[in-house]
């Protein structure tokens, strides 16, 4: 009797393991289809995986994601709810992302935020929950709340290009230096994409913000009122007013005869060195997320003499002959830069 029981146990254990393996194979095939944009084909694979292994968490997770991406939001919500109910104590990070994201698409904002918070409470170290919550806030015209979410995402994952991109865009109008630092960091993490081309143009426009040539020897510099120091003398969080002013003055020198003969990258390097030097000089009396998390990285970049390498990385898709030549001749400098950036200690 004991032998029969053991054999029966081994039979069911072996069958379960086989079902799990078969389901995983089908899920992997579904993921490949999803990545190719064939969401219907992917969902079909996940359904077959669930026929082989009922309530397989990986299949449910990927199915919810593909349904959400395909715009089948109600179905994605139902699959997410089911996954949470049958796997309450397992890895559900991406399930919560799909669930809340689908609610957001359906304009059920309060419900979406509630689910994001529920997911964050269970998985506080998963950056995608903060990032997608930030997108939800941004979609509902709440930029301040969105920025806080993107900042939390970066604290967990400093290389997350999406959060850097979002901060750069949201800070553009009122906080030029934080936006410049975010876009600069983005171009290091993601240097050759459609987004990087747009962000390089944004970065260049930020450098010239408020600076215009009004005559052959006349330059007009307009200062954003948000950059002016508080008359009360109380230090503001993330105050970059001094650096902002110095950048405007440095940008005005673009029209100087000696600088007008320099390449675009050379002038960029000159101005970025000014920014980093100002950050180092004024860091002692300042505070806030950008001072604590962005400024030290760029100050160290300056001190390690990596600004030139960074500039040519940022301009890699500019198609300028001087940029192409620099990359061909300076692979060693690029390697040194990337090794430093990879090993940088984010605090």
Mean pLDDT value across residues 47-75? 95
pLDDT at 8 over 70: no
Quickly list H helices, the chain. 2-35, 39-52, 57-69, 73-86, 93-105, 109-122, 127-139, 143-156, 161-171, 176-189, 194-207, 241-252, 257-260, 264-282, 289-293, 295-303, 307-314, 321-329, 331-343
pLDDT of residue 1: 46
Between helices 241-252 and 264-282, what is the axis angle to 10°?
150
Residue 213 pairs with which residues in a beta bridge? Answer: 219
Name the 3-class secondary structure at 142: coil
Whole-angstrom distance, CA of residue 223 vs CA of residue 248: 8
Residue 280: closest CA among 308, 229, 242, 227: 242
Average pLDDT estimate for 340-346: 96
Homologous superfamily of 2-151: Tetratricopeptide repeat domain (1.25.40.10)
pLDDT of residue 223: 64
- Evaluate if residue 347 carries a pLDDT over 90: no
Q: What is the pLDDT of residue 17?
A: 52
pLDDT-derived band at 142 (thresholds 50, 70, 90) equals: very high
Of 93-102, 254-263, 324-333, where does mean pLDDT reach its minimum? 254-263
Domain definitions of the chain by residue range: 2-151, 158-228+236-347
101/53: higher pLDDT: 101
């Amino acid at each position: 009797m004991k032998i029969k029981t053991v054999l029966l146990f081994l039979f069911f254990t072996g069958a379960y393991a086989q079902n799990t393996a078969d389901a995983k194979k089908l899920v992997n095939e579904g993921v490949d289809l999803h990545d190719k944009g064939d969401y219907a084909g992917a969902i079909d694979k996940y359904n077959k995986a669930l026929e082989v292994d009922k309530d397989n968490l990986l299949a449910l997770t990927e199915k919810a994601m593909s349904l959400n991406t395909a715009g089948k939001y109600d179905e994605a919500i139902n699959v997410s709810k089911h996954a949470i109910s049958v796997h309450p104590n397992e890895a559900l990070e991406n399930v919560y992302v799909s669930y809340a994201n689908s609610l957001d698409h359906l304009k059920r904002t309060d419900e979406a935020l509630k689910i994001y918070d529920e997911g964050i409470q269970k998985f506080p170290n998963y950056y995608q929950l903060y990032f997608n919550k930030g997108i939800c806030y941004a979609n509902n015209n709440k930029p301040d709340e969105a920025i806080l979410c993107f900042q939390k995402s970066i604290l967990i994952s400093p290389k997350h290009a999406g959060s850097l991109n979002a901060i750069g865009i949201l800070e553009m109008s009122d906080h030029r230096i934080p936006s410049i630092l975010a876009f600069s960091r983005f171009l290091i993490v993601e240097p050759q994409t459609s987004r990087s081309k747009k962000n390089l143009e944004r970065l260049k426009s930020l450098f010239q913000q408020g600076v215009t040539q009004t005559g052959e020897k006349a330059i007009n510099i307009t200062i954003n009122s948000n950059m002016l120091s508080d008359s009360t003398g109380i230090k503001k969080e993330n105050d970059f007013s001094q650096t902002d002013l110095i950048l405007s003055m440095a940008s005005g020198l673009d029209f100087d005869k000696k600088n007008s003969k320099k390449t675009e990258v050379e002038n960029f390097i000159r101005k970025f060195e000014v920014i980093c030097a100002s950050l180092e000089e004024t860091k002692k009396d300042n505070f806030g997320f950008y001072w604590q998390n962005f400024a030290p990285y760029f100050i160290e970049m300056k001190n390690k003499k990596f600004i030139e390498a960074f500039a040519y990385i940022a301009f890699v898709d500019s198609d300028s002959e001087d940029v192409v030549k620099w990359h061909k001749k300076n692979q060693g400098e690029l390697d040194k830069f990337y090794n430093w950036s990879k090993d940088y200690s984010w605090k």
